[in-house]
Chains A and B, each alone.
Chain A
Amino acid sequence: MPIELRHDPGAKRRRLRALLARPELLVMPGGFSPVYASAAERAGFESFFVAGSQMSGFLMGVPDTGIIGLRDIVDHARHVASATSIPILLDADTGFGNAVNVHYAVQEIVRSGVAALQLEDQEAPKKSGTGGGRRCIPLDEAVGKIRAACAARDAIDPDFVVCARCDSIGAEGWTMEETVARCVAYAKGGGADLVWLNAVQTRAQLEEVCAKTNAPVLCNWWSEVEPPPTFEEYARLGVKVALFPTFVSSAGLQGAWELLNDFKARGEAAITDWRQRSRQGKWGAADYRGLTGHPAVRQLELDFLPQSAQRDYASNRAKR
């Protein structure tokens, strides 16, 4: 019997490469949990991003300033990867040090089963990519880190995808010329499979980087100067991946915030109303049991437990 796609990291990595090679735009939602990644897959998305900010926030309750380490992200990445059949892009921040640290970080992450990782050119300890106070390491050091990442990757799985993130827009001493030079170098000298242009402000910046960079470009739009492009516009500007890096967990947090307040104000009527709204909504209630693999437990019991250890499901009750 062939193994399931979700247990085949190689196939998911080749799938991501195919998605990056095709003409159409790839729309990638992001968050943190295996459950959110599975829900994204069910909703029809072809890939998912695991954001460092959201791992920091939802797992440890700390800000996105390089508090979490390699072990935290590898542990979590393994669970997200094994829960999904779509390729996962993992946020590996600065790679937790210099090119030497990057070498070890990349190999650990490849072994976790995700399809791709992202390394940013910020000085460690990092800042949130959408916050102020960012500072970048020199271009040549950043290129060296990408080269180290690709070499570490090639030694154990050439299909794994390395994404170089350029955080220089908005960082200390920023110029557009430098940003373009960095993106070009990360692809050409560094060998990155994908270049992430962070904090894009204008369509003109995006178009310039897409035209000059010899690799697919990923964009997360956070401009307060221009309204965000539509998916059609992204494609026309030359973008390959439109990333919404925290959208799923932000929506989850907002949903919880509103219901907790409503619940505090109105008591159980708030929950009853919410339940009804969820069921009657266009997409129905999220399939929590399916998303977390509960049905497989019964099968495992039937297949592998002796008769005497089988549980009695017929005469005892289930709530749902």
Chain B
Amino acid sequence: MNAHDAVREKRKQFRRLLRRKKLTVMPGGFSPLYARLAQQAGFESFFLAGSQLSAFLYGVPDNGIIGLRELVDHSRHMAAAADIPILVDADTGFGNAVNVYHAVKEVARAGVAAMQIEDQEAPKKSATNAGRRCISAEEAIGKIQAAVAARDEVDPEFSICARCDTLGAEGGSFKEALERCIAYVKEGGADFIWLNSVETREDLKRACARIPAPVLTIWGGKDAPPTFEEQEALGVRIALIPTVAATVGLQAAWEVMNDMRARGTRAMAEWNKHAKENPWGRPDMDMLLGYSKVREIEQRYIPASLQRDYAKTWGHKVDYTTVSAAPEKRRRKA
């Protein structure tokens, strides 16, 4: 399959996930590697979070600091690395309806399956933070319409997600949020709706029943979030865990660095043992990065005189093996 067909196939696959009644659990983060990890662990789609792109590539907060170019660049690498469809967080679309129109075309050309535009005022705030302010429903609907028009010009299979950030924002109420979501579908033409920060199960059920499109939600209530079974029963179509791969990676790095500060090489030896012995072992780095493809390209296209000698040169396994048992004889430094 050529690259263009592969992209379209992933977009069609994403639309199939949206149509079916069964809940789709979508993990997220950033990085082509995490997207492939998710694929290998059996997930059917992956989310690129603007917050994680801001944090892990630039080290900046999720406040609309990164722009279209950063997003498109990273999206292209993720889409190329993963066989599962990718949903991309395009924040506010980087301006008004005119900016959205151009942003959608750029993002669609990057090869991802879908993108989300939120109804916050630019510059945006993190969706899980206070200080959010939404643009008027009228302006937001216009932005979704611009997104859909741009999408139709480049690939009708590409999905547009309208995100409603009204719950928890200035002056936001559930009634208003619900009205917005319905309008984003009916007037805007959004393929699916992301309703952020829902606080009760009753609200969630009502929203899923009234919104005439598949609903993705992130829980914002004080009670424990509904289980996946509950969410499916309430009518939710996508349960998004938007930063999970990146957050867990950060936590693991934090713990292992502190442990290494405290206990030196012993900490690394134990980490290594754990990586080997846990039920899922280590991720398959060749599958993730394609080193065997490099060998294949060399053999096929590089003249014999320039072939590298893999038999006599050697590499290493990523393995800190055991804690030092120093060899018996150690020469003193001259």
Contact = CB atoms under 8 A, between A and B. Distances in A.
Interface of A: 27, 29, 31, 33-40, 43-45, 56-65, 76, 79-80, 82-83, 127-128, 130-135, 170-172, 174, 199, 203-204, 207, 210-211, 222-224, 226-231, 233, 236-238, 244, 246-264, 267-268, 271, 274, 278, 281-283, 285-286, 288-289, 291-294, 296-298, 301, 311-313, 315-320
B61 to A, nearest CB: 4
A254 B59 CA distance: 21
> Which of A133, A203, A247 has the most C-beta atoms of chain B within 10 angstroms of its own C-beta?
A133
A131 B265 contact: no
A130 B316 contact: yes
Contact of B326 (A127, A224, A233, A318): A233
B32 A311 contact: no
B6 interface: no
B168 A316 contact: yes
B85 to A, nearest CB: 16
Given A57-B289, A224-B316, A318 B129 contact: yes
B264 A230 contact: yes
B282 interface: yes
A294 B61 contact: yes
Contact of A312 (B74, B131, B326, B327): B131
A261 to B, nearest CB: 4
Given A130-B316, A130-B318, A237-B333, A247 B268 contact: yes
10 tightest A-B CB contacts, nearest first: A255-B252, A61-B32, A34-B59, A252-B249, A83-B59, A61-B81, A286-B254, A222-B316, A317-B168, A133-B308
Given A268-B228, A298-B131, 10 more contacts: A43-B254, A79-B59, A133-B308, A203-B326, A264-B41, A282-B259, A286-B251, A292-B60, A313-B130, A320-B128
A251 B280 contact: no
A255 B253 contact: yes
A268 B27 CA distance: 11
> Which of B249, B268, B313 has the most C-beta atoms of chain A within 10 angstroms of its own C-beta?
B249
Contacts of A29: 257, 260
> Which of A59, A227, A252 has the most C-beta atoms of chain B within 10 angstroms of its own C-beta?
A252
Contacts of A260: 27, 37-38, 41, 43, 244-245, 248
Given A131-B291, A199-B316, A319-B128, A254 B327 contact: no
A224 B288 CA distance: 24
Contact of A60 (B61, B77, B257, B280): B77
A211 B244 contact: no
A228 B321 contact: yes
A279 to B, nearest CB: 10
B272 to A, nearest CB: 9
A101 to B, nearest CB: 20
Contact of B37 (A224, A256, A301): A256
B314 interface: yes
Interface of B: 25, 27, 29, 31-38, 41-43, 54-63, 74, 77-78, 80-81, 125-126, 128-133, 168-170, 172, 197, 220, 225, 227-228, 241, 244-261, 264-265, 268, 271, 275, 278-280, 282-283, 288-291, 293-295, 298, 308-310, 312-327, 330-331, 333-334
A289 B130 CA distance: 13
Nearest to B280: A261
Contacts of B80: 61
Contacts of B275: 254
Contacts of B63: 294, 297
Contact of B128 (A58, A65, A79, A318): A318
Contact of A236 (B31, B60, B130, B333): B333
29 contacts: A36-B56, A39-B250, A59-B32, A63-B290, A63-B293, A135-B313, A170-B314, A224-B319, A226-B327, A230-B323, A236-B333, A247-B257, A248-B257, A251-B253, A254-B252, A255-B248, A256-B244, A260-B27, A260-B41, A262-B280, A263-B41, A263-B244, A292-B54, A294-B62, A296-B61, A311-B170, A313-B131, A317-B197, A320-B128
B327 A203 contact: yes
B31 A257 contact: no
B128 A257 contact: no
Nearest to A41: B257
Contact of A131 (B58, B248, B259, B315): B315
Contact of B248 (A256, A283, A313): A256
